[in-house]
Structure 1
Amino acid sequence: MRVFGLLLLLFGLCGSGAHGEGGGLGEVGEISQFQKTAPRDADEESTKQTTEQTTTDIWGEVRALRDMVVELKVELRNMKARVKDSESQVKDLKAELIVTKVLVDLLQKENSVQETRLTVTESITSDLERKNADLQIRLSSSEYELLVSKSRIDQLEREDVEIPKVAFYSALTDAGNVGPYKTDITLKYSKVFTNTGDAYNPATGFFTAPVKGVYSFQFTVCGNHKGNMGVYVYKNKQRMMYNAEWWANAGYEYLSNSVVLELIAGDEVHLVLPAGFFVFDNLNNHSTFSGSLLFPL
């Protein structure tokens, strides 16, 4: 508004100057009139001085306006520079935003990959945990079976230690014929080759059971001349078996048999030569008596 007012004032001064110049054309004709009206000339002089002073103030305002325009131009250039800087900063921010978006996308993809890996890892871990549980169950079962097996082995070892080992094998004599006699006699198999457990006594011809169990006995009777050969098998005082044969020719003749008996500890088994019978034996061990424990009861 100030500038607009100054412009209007300039236009007004220009109009006043034009009127002054027109008045100058009649200056000669009006001299006399001017001389006659001196007070009016004084007013005009005052008005002229006022106009000159006003003109001087206007030019001052114009110069101030020019300076202001210059300052505005400088400020405008500065504002343009700041705008350019702001635009550059905006571009930089846009670039940083794009880079940030790319990084965010990459991080999201990496996060997705990590989640997938985590899911796979959790699945593998679950499988391993299940396998580990199965292995622990199998191990527990194996440990239990091992304990049972060890218990059985220990039991068998104890039983093996506790079960006596009983077996014997003997032959009758080196003297040749034994008998015949008028009465029954106990045969004493004096040549002992095996006597594990010392259950057989060659001095008496008796086998004594050390434990309750089932025992097996075998015997062989040999004859080499005409006559009766045979034996009785006794359990304690009870006759369990009788084997005999009539031999009418020269040369060796054999009979063999076996018996399985259930005995208690202390029971005795022996062979008896019946009256009127004979047996034969020599260095070749033709007549034998043997036995063993099959299993305890």
Structure 2
Amino acid sequence: MRAVVVGLLLLGLCGSGAQGEVQETETRDAGEETTKQTTPDIWAEVRALRDMVVELKVELRNVEATVKDSESQVDELKTELIVTKMQVEQLQRETSDLQTRLSSSETELLLSKSRIEQLERENAEKPKVAFYTALTDARDVGPFNTDITLKCSKVFTNIGDAYSPHSGFFTAPVRGVYYLQFTVCGHKAGLMGVYVYKNSQRIMHNGEWKEEAGLEFFTNSVVLELMAGDEIYLVLPSGYSVFDNSDNRSTFSGALLFTL
């Protein structure tokens, strides 16, 4: 009986030991398997991390390149901004100059306008005197045995009505300087010519001897200072002749140059 109990105890111990060995073996196997499974996962993660680092480096280089491009563009923009600013300043200066010139031109224009208005007023107030006449359509006039006043009957211009075809007198309406001109045509053989009178004073004599019949001309002019009421007229001297027809060959004309 004692032997049986001892045997059972030994058998139990042996069973326990065997079971412990089995468990220990299983645990060791499981650890090795876990180690085997874990080791490949770590290397995979390392490779993944390495790939990420590489990608990050590439992205970093791209970012750096982009930053450099941006900096270059910023520098170009700064340069363009400086140039634009200089151009704007230049335009501002030119605009200022133009405004100054425009202001000066406007001032000159106002002065010119004022001067023109003044001249227009002066011109409007200034007497207008001008005349142009021709002697006759009757052809030969003279010779006579006495001096006669030539009356130019054909009046083409008589601004200011200062010339009278009835008397042959030009009467100065205002004090001033006058330009007077006459043209004389001769046709008959003999003396041709005229006197020029101011009031009762003879101030000019133009004449010549014609050897034979035929048209011949001479022209003369005077510039005279006349008082208002002074009279200028042409006189045919005794023994002289002149000629005129529809071609207006003998004429008398004049105009006021300026008042005094």
TM-score computed with the length of structure 1 as normaliser: 0.59
Distance 2:57 2:29 in 1: 41
1:87 aligns to 2:46 (yes or no): yes
**Aligned position for 1:101:** 60
Matches within 5 A, 1:22-101: 56-101=15-60
| Secondary structure in 1 matching 2:136 | coil
* Counterpart residue identity of residue 282, structure 1: D
Does structure 2 conserve the Cα–Cα contact (< 8 Å) formed by 1:169 and 1:193?
A: yes
Contact 2:195-2:237 at 8 Å conserved across structures: no
2 CA distance for matches of 1:77 and 1:209?
Answer: 143
Determine whether 1:231 maps to 2:195: yes
After TM superposition, give the deviation of residue 213 of structure 1 in Å: 6.3
What is the correspondence of 1:158-197 to structure 2 with a 5 Å cutoff?
159=119, 163=123, 167-175=130-138, 176-177=140-141, 180=144, 187-195=150-158
Counterpart contact for 1:170–1:192, Cα < 8 Å: yes
Which of 51, 70, 81 aligns to 1:122? It is 81
Report the Cα distance in structure 2 between the residues aligned to 1:135 and 1:169, rounded to whole angstroms. Answer: 57
| Cα shift readout 1:258-279 (whole Å, capped 9, x = no counterpart) | 1224568x66552142775755
RMSD of aligned alpha carbons:
4.6
Q: Would you say 1:219 and 2:178 are equivalent positions?
A: no
Q: Give 3-state SS (helix, strand or coil) of 2:152's partner.
A: coil
Show the counterpart of 2:222.
259
Q: CA deviation at 1:100?
A: 0.9
Deviates more, 1:163-172 or 1:203-212: 203-212
Q: Is the 8 A contact 1:232 1:274 kept in 2?
A: no
Distance change (3 Å), C-alpha of 1:110 and 1:263? farther
Question: Which secondary structure state, in structure 2, belongs to the residue aligned with residue 291 of structure 1?
Answer: strand
- The answer to whether the 8 A contact 1:169-1:291 is kept is yes
Residue 130 of structure 1 and its aligned partner are, at CA, apart by 4.8
State the identity %. Answer: 29
Q: 1:171 to 1:178 in 2, by over 3 A?
A: farther
* Higher relative contact order structure (alpha carbons within 8 Å, sequence separation ≥ 6): 2
Q: Which residue of structure 2 lines up, in the alignment, with residue 10 of structure 1?
A: none
State the distance in 2 between where 1:197 and 1:70 align.
Answer: 147
In 2, are the aligned partners of 1:179 and 1:276 still within 8 Å (CA)? Answer: yes
Contact conserved, 1:217 with 1:292, CA < 8 A, in 2? yes
Partner of 1:12: none
Structure 1: segments with no counterpart, 5+ residues = 1-41
Are residue 110 (structure 1) and residue 77 (structure 2) matched? no
CA distance in 1, matches of 2:20, 2:99: 110
TM-score, reference length from structure 2: 0.66
Higher Rg of the two aligned structures: 1
Instruction: In structure 2, give the amino acid aligned to 1:242.
Output: M
CA contact (8 A) 1:206 1:268 kept: no
Q: Which runs of 5+ in 2 are unaligned?
A: none
TM superposition shift of 1:198:
5.5
